[in-house]
Structure 1
Amino acid sequence: MTISRRYERWSPLILLTILLLLWQLICWLFEIPEFIFPSPWQIGIQFTEFSGPLIEAAWKTFWVTMLGFGLSIIVGVLLGFLVGSSRMAYAAIYPLLVAFNAVPKAAVVPILVVWFGIGLGPGVLTAFLISFFPITVNIATGLATLEPELEDVLRVLGARRWDVLIKVGLPRSMPYFYGSLKIAITLAFVGTVLAEMTAGDSGIGYLMQSAGSQQRMSLAFAGLVTIGVMAMAMYELFSLIERRTTAWAHRGTQAA
């Protein structure tokens, strides 16, 4: 491994260490109170003191997010395939999807509470509603941008429209798909935490809301860090799967 590749691999950890040291130094020099802006050391203490509640809340948030995210993959792929494969569907459905995506999801949560009550339902549905749009758009883009010349050649060779979409369009859309997954999973965590803070009875969002109301900002920041770690771990998982399954789409990047 070359020196540049070694530095590239360790650069995120180095940058994170520098930021944490700078954060700690600022809190120490200006003597910022913990209830206003806790230092990394104070946040770390909360992880040791409240490791049990944090793990329990993180697990609840994680599987609720995965339920909503899994639903968003199913609906997003189906809608993306429909929108990307038909000009009529694109013209009819896409503007409605854009309008729906522009609706603040925080305004939808109270409606979901009325319909499904406090607990699991609003969290799963909010994670789904906030994360399916990127998947739909990217699948539709991958299918709609299939080169006309390539499609004409395949038609001449006897391929039907369905064959072109399934055997060429969908594989060509895989880089778009994985890119959308990496965006959607982070949005799904946002949706779950939003629902838990608004209408939840457990999870990281509920823990942060309770800690904030008691001015225990260190514990609230520990919840933020937990959400960030889970989202980053899922992002890296999809990046690994993407590199293993769509290496053909990253030849130029790997060469560079």
Structure 2
Amino acid sequence: LADSGQGLTKQKSSKQQNNGNSTGRSSMISRIDLEKAQLRISRWHSFQIVALGCAFLCCTIAAFCLSYALLSLQSDCLLFASWNYTVDKQAKVVNVFYDQTQWGDSYQCTLTLYSLVTAALASFMCCWFFIFFRPRKAFPRQNTHSTASTLVLPILLISFVFVTLMLIVSSRLLTGLLHWCNGIVKEFGSCNFPSDYEVVLTWNVRTVNYFGFLASSSLFAWLGCVLWLAVFLSLLARWCMHIDFPGAHVSNGRASSNEQSVAA
């Protein structure tokens, strides 16, 4: 009986030692997993800050180029316009007649410009929110919930709205530019007037490189649309995969390891 009692005591002590070792290993593994999860959160967050900052720059440049091209025309909209002009090849002068020009609707240019400005302001605000409210470092037994995680869903919805808006604006801007270019392409084979020709507007306003500014505005508008789409997709993945809440996954992993040790 004494031998059997000693055997049972040794078995209990060995089980307790094994449980302690497994608990220590599981806590070490959970801590490593949590550090990896926090590093992954930081990378996603930094990517979204950069994407929003670049979207702000692109939308701002697109709005500036469009406003600069339309400023000299005042209330006349160049998008979807059809210029009536004559070409003097000897003097290398292009005369554009105001009375015979079919201008685009003024709301096309106004809505396009204001939409680009709104998208730039929205990306600027979202970028600064993400800069100020960064994910905080959490320990295994602490809640990883932070202000940064609460921003994910609202900015996800905002980004969806502005992806849709930028897609419409970029399409209208490109379509309006190509419509205006059609009449110029027939004469010169290109949307841009030749550099050795002088463009004279009969209503006496300042002339600028309209094609250059409109093309730049269209290009940066599409870049802004792509960046907003990148923000939306990354936030959607971040929200669906619960990347901001690694503590739950770590706790589940710790619980499963404890169950395995108890079963052993």
TM-score category by the smaller chain? under 0.3
| Structure 1 length-normalised TM | 0.27
Higher relative contact order (CA 8 A, sep 6+): 2
| Structure 2 length-normalised TM | 0.26
Which has the greater radius of gyration? 2
